[in-house]
Copies of this chain bind each other. A is one copy, B any other.
Amino acid sequence: MKFGFVDESNMVLLTDLYELTMAQSYFNAKMNGIAVFDFFVRNLKKRSYLLSAGLEQVIYYLENLKFSKEDIEYLKTTGRFSDDFLDYLKSFRFTGNLYAVDEGEIVFENEPLLTIEAPLIEAQIVETFIINTMQISTLVATKALRCYSVAGKSLLVDFGLRRAHGTDAGMKAARSAYIGGFIGTSNVLASKCFGIPSFGTMAHSFILAHKDEKEAFTHFLKSYPENSTLLVDTFDTIKGVENAVEAVKRSGLKSFRGIRLDSGEIVKLAKECRGILDRAGFEDTMIFVSGGLNEYKIKEYLDAKTPIDGWGVGTELVVSADLPFLDCAYKLVEYDNEPKMKLSPKKVTLPGKKQIFRNYCNGIIKSDTIELHDEDIDGLPLMKRYIFKGEVQIDLPSLDEIRKKALESFDTLPPEIKDINSDETIKPSLSSKLQEMVKCLKIELEKNLVNRDA
């Protein structure tokens, strides 16, 4: 237990204690009517749109959710739970419904990315894991799509595993980056698990371990004659690329895949390197750049007509550095057929079971409307029923299909929303029925407060 790995055998315990203590209190009070919870983002802050991701992992979690004998025994040792409740947990499964926006769909503020409709105890216990999974997946997918939005035809590769927040973040970031338009990852395990193409170059340590750069390049080219990207900035970038050219020629190769620049004045250096490569007859050799990249730097370099063919984006992608968390929540919106809403300042939620309708004009998003699920409004409904009574209803798309959907969804964004420097967004409107429900509930809740005052 020294490491604390999370896997199938213990994921139900990866939850906040209060989910379980509330569950026991519901159990004691025999409150297990049908509850509806929404996961949504209140305020997009530094983002004009979000790219939804993480759904497949949530589905996997819900499908496989159970308390093992060991889990129950552990909970018993805490002294917080009654034998009756622990008995109930033995046969605990997720038996409810999951409605969700597809992975790879664009969403905006207050739009439910997913809705859980299930017996109260089940819907409550899954809260922590759902937020944990959806937030990081959506954060990185969105950041990736922002990079994609500026990278044009150049190639984006996820280099972030080492700087991701732990092992699972490295896996989820690789998957989300791919969904958001990256072409691959440096993460070998993510490549194995998710089928994402893997990429790699070489480290400064590789150069330093050798007598000199030329020897290092020569050794690498010998091992990978058709697939070498040589890191040229360990000592001096221009000398580095000259050494690379010499090593390639001495190795008797007609071409090589690429060079990588990881430091220095990239705009100037990339142009000089391109010249050296072209003059040496290596017009097809790619220039690959890394080191503190984000969507703003990629745009800056490309705006300066820097000849860059590929990008290794790491830290700033996987921790979503300029926005490392979302203002997201998982909130009760209905219990036992009654719509629910709280009044806490700045944290008002939209009550009731809902649907999102999207309208397009010439293939571009015109407006979104959030409405109650039983309304009949024009437009494309975004939420589908993925799980019904605990059973998955839809053949889940492959990762490549999700990625394709994401890039198609991106094409439906108006230009001013696509712009990484824009602070515009699309604010979904609320159907008049939903507005009316919010208004009535507010009046009722405030009346209750006044009555108690009396």
Contacts and interface: CB of A to CB of B under 8 A. Distances in A.
A3 B343 CA distance: 37
Interface string A72-94: 00100010100000000000000
A321 interface: yes
Contacts of A186: 16-18
B3 A5 contact: no
Interface string A163-191: 11111111110010000000000111111
A305 B93 CA distance: 47
Contacts of A171: 4, 6, 14, 166
Nearest to A231: B18
Contacts of A124: 203, 205-206
A14 B200 contact: no
Given A132-B161, A187-B16, A233-B344, A223 B57 contact: no
B14 A161 contact: yes
Given A204-B342, A335-B208, A449-B239, A189 B319 contact: no
A16 B161 contact: yes
Interface in A407-454: 445, 448-449, 452-453
A391 interface: no
A131 B315 CA distance: 12
Contact of A193 (B1, B243, B449): B1
A188 B264 contact: no
Contacts of A7: 5, 7
A209 B120 contact: yes
Most buried by B among A7, A167, A190, A205: A167
A11 interface: yes
A256 interface: no
Contacts of A13: 188-189, 192
Interface stretch (A28-36, A271-279, A361-369): A28-36
A311 interface: no
Given A11-B167, A165-B136, A22 B344 contact: no
Given A194-B4, A224-B21, A340-B208, A162 B200 contact: no
For the complex formed by this chain, how many copies does it contain in all? Answer: 2
Contact of A168 (B56, B74, B166): B166
A347 interface: yes
Interface stretch (A104-112, A324-332, A375-383): A324-332
Given A262-B344, A324-B324, A4 B166 contact: no
A345 interface: yes
Given A161-B128, A162-B16, A193-B1, A206 B239 contact: no
Which of A4, A18, A124, A191 has the most chain B CB within a 10 Å cutoff?
A: A4
Contact of A162 (B4, B35, B120, B127): B127
Interface of A: 1-8, 10-11, 13-22, 24-26, 28-29, 31, 35, 37, 56-57, 60-61, 74, 78, 80, 120, 124, 127-129, 131-133, 135-136, 139, 159, 161-172, 175, 186-194, 198-210, 212, 219-220, 222-224, 227, 233-236, 239, 242-243, 262-264, 315-316, 319-321, 324-325, 331-332, 335, 340-347, 445, 448-449, 452-453
12 contacts: A4-B171, A6-B168, A16-B188, A21-B224, A22-B206, A25-B222, A136-B164, A165-B168, A165-B324, A207-B342, A235-B344, A236-B449
Q: Which 6 A-B pairs have the closest CB atoms?
A: A17-B200, A166-B168, A18-B200, A165-B165, A205-B332, A6-B167
